[in-house]
Amino acid sequence: MSEFQPPVIIPAAAIADRVDDLARRISYDHGGVEDLLMVGVLRGSYMFLADLTRRLTVPCSVDFISLTEYDRGSLPAGSVRLALDLRVDIRGRHVVLVEDIVSSGCTLAYLVKTFELREPASVRTCVLARKRGHEHLAVRLDYVGFEIPDRWVVGYGLDYDNKYRAFPYIGVVHAPDTEIDAEPLRQTP
């Protein structure tokens, strides 16, 4: 592991309980679907997606997609492009996009629009965490694990400079002279 131990804001047990709840809701909403496609947005969603799919009670398959930001001065900040596309055709399929964290929702909105052009039966979104202060998102969130402070967080797949993903909990990264937001996290039903 690492010597760095960020202050915990969501313990591993709370994550496990919430993943159970989300899996029940997704399974209920997709009862009767023969092969639900769960699409993880790399890299941050990998732990969440693995735990979530293990708990589903409906048949599913898994694929991944990856995005990268354009590194060009002529494009607006946050402009993204596909770095890794799906390996399967989603036409006529029920799809759940699984993302680790959402702030503005622009990246997820881009993915939903991209997927809708491929004519799936449905596209829903599932995010582990939504940052507070970004309530006016560019995309609808169908399943939300936690609402968290607008801080940089790590663990359970979330990273800082591609480090600290393996923590079994979610912790907040902060400068030594700042305080952690002590407001209790609200779980979205």
Predicted pLDDT at 104: 80
Residues in the chain: 189
Task: Report the alpha-carbon angle 172-175-178, nearest 5.
Answer: 90
| Residue range 119-164, pLDDT digits in tens | 999 999 999 999 887 666 778 899 999 999 888 899 999 988 888 9
Evaluate if residue 176 carries a pLDDT over 80.
no
Query: Taking all residues of the chain, what is their mean pLDDT, rounded to a whole number?
Result: 85
123 in Cβ contact with 111 (< 8 Å): no
| Residue range 54-71, pLDDT digits in tens | 999 999 999 999 887 655
131 in Cβ contact with 149 (< 8 Å): yes
pTM of the model: 0.84
Token readout for 173 is 């990264």
Token readout for 23 is 């899996």
71 in Cβ contact with 79 (< 8 Å): no
For the chain, report the end-to-end CA distance as a whole number of angstroms: 33
Domains of the chain and CATH, by start: 8-172 (3.40.50.2020)
